[in-house]
Amino acid sequence: MAAPKPSRWAPLESNPDVLTEWAGLVGLSTKRYAFSDVFSLDDEMLAFVPQPVKAVLLVFPLTDEIDAQRKETDKQIAQEDSQPNLDPTIFFIKQTISNACGTIALLHSIYNTDATMVPTSALQKFQQQAMDMTPDQRAKLLETTDLFATAHAAAASGGQSSMPENLDTNDHFVAFVQAPDPENPGKQRLIELDGRRPAPLDLGPSENLLKDVATVFKTKYMALAEEGKFALISLGPA
């Protein structure tokens, strides 16, 4: 039986080099894929982000205002049963470990795309073990597995910021991907994946992932944004 692991991890830094290092250590083919900063939301500047974009990470301070807004959205969805049918192949993990949002967002961004994983790597082993599990069961597996411990420690200590004496942080990571539309073959839906939320969140039709995430940020987060406190990071060609 696996030994219990700490319920709080050292937070990952929202640094594309650190995230690419983590992904490479656990089995992403970083000769082909890497994480990159998205410096501007202007359409002209988005064109300079390495294409095609496979996933987008949003990092933001989980303030009381933002948290309350998100909880109200989740409550309305549950009451109105307003979410469309989701593609059943979406791989979703609940977050039960404090500060694990970065790791979970990375897993969501890789497992829900066609990014290449190295055979027998930690990424592939965890995916195989968790494939038929519920999101809560996957969370339990993440709590006890040793597959990501070395990579997480290396990446968490390798960022540009010094490691804090205490591990409290309100920075939060979520991932955005495209998933097939079950109701319209050949079409895509924009999906937000956040282990703190009850389930994947369908944000509507999607034709251009990066532009669609930029629109979501402008409409849902821009008014709450403090300059320098938000980051968008893409997963795409190295």
Q: In what order do the strands lie in the sheet with 231-237?
A: 33-38, 231-237, 55-61, 171-180, 188-193, 201-205
- Specify the residue for token string 């703190």: 196
- Count the neighbouring beta carbons within 10 Å of the beta carbon of residue 141: 16
Which region, left, alpha or beta, applies to residue 152 given φ > 0 means left and ψ of -120 to 50 means alpha?
alpha
In terms of Cβ atoms closer than 10 Å to its own Cβ (0-12, 13-18, 19+), residue 167 is middle
Asked whether the beta carbons of 22 and 155 are under 8 A apart, the reply is yes
Closest CA to 18 of 31, 41, 2, 37: 37
Strand blocks (E) in 26-92? 33-38, 55-61
Please give the positions annotated as active site: 101, 172
Strand blocks (E) in the chain? 33-38, 55-61, 171-180, 188-193, 201-205, 231-237
